[in-house]
Amino acid sequence: MSTVIARHSWLTNPWSKPLLWGVALMPLAWLIGRASAGAYVNPEEALVRGTGDWALRMLLLTLAVTPARVSLHLPQLLRFRRSLGQLSFVYACVHLSLYLWLIVGFESGKLVHDLARHPYVFAGMATFVCMLPLGLTSSNAAIRALGAARWQVLHRLVYVVAALAMLHFFWVRASKNQVIEPMLYAAVLGGLLAWRLWYWNRNAPAGGCGH
């Protein structure tokens, strides 16, 4: 047992979370560096699209923590779930900010036009609206203020966020006749949600209903 614990001691190392943040933010630095170097034909679109992609990837990694923790018998993984959720929120904030700056030019009229004309813009905005309370309450202080039970209920919004984010992603890619990648991401999300349904039903009390 001590050997197993020692083998995974890096998961509880105080430096593991800062390391996670450093590694997870490298794609953002890479996108900015490539855009600054003129590597993209359309740098504005590349930055907006790239940060949105990474927001979705971080969200899927957040949802993957619990299945990985249970399946691999690594309870230490739980300490990274909130950080991954926060990273998804950071990328979503950057994604929205870049869209409002580079695409819309902070013009309210153009934003309203995009919301009315493009379903993927509306879905993306709805995703961020649902994500906002999760990002703002992702702290120990928020858990204490709300109470653990209310905090857990609120953070079940993550499933709504995931569904809306996938819809946004699919519509963006479909508008450019690119559907293979969204289908792969949807399969990953479907697998994560199917695992949860299986796990909840397996552990539900007899005669009760899991959630």
Instruction: Measure the CA–CA gap between 16 and 19, rounded to whole angstroms.
Output: 5
What per-residue confidence (pLDDT) applies to 129?
97
* Residue at 173: amino acid letter: R
What per-residue confidence (pLDDT) applies to 11?
81
What per-residue confidence (pLDDT) applies to 13?
85
Going by the DSSP 8-state scheme, the letter that residue 75 receives in this structure is G
Distance between first and last Cα of the chain:
33
Give the angle 65-205-156 at the CA atoms, nearest 5°. 40
Q: Write the Ramachandran bin of 62: left for phi over 0, alpha for psi from -120 to 50, otherwise beta.
A: alpha
Q: Write the Ramachandran bin of 71: left for phi over 0, alpha for psi from -120 to 50, otherwise beta.
A: alpha
What per-residue confidence (pLDDT) applies to 3?
45
What per-residue confidence (pLDDT) applies to 7?
56
Instruction: Measure the CA–CA gap between 61 and 29, rounded to whole angstroms.
Output: 20
What per-residue confidence (pLDDT) applies to 176?
86
Closest CA to 173 of 115, 120, 96: 120
pTM: 0.91
CB 135 within 8 A of CB 161: no
- Show contacts of 87-90: CB within 8 Å, 24+ apart: 87/20, 87/21, 87/24, 87/25, 87/58, 88/55, 88/56, 88/58, 88/59, 88/61, 88/62, 88/131, 89/55, 89/131, 89/134, 89/135, 89/138, 90/25
**pLDDT tens, N- to C-terminus, the chain (211 residues):** 444 444 567 788 889 999 999 999 999 999 999 999 999 999 999 999 999 999 999 999 999 999 999 999 999 999 999 999 999 999 999 999 999 999 999 999 999 999 999 999 999 999 999 999 999 999 999 999 999 999 999 999 999 999 999 999 999 999 888 899 999 999 999 999 999 999 988 876 644 434 3
Token code pair at residue 48: 């907006």
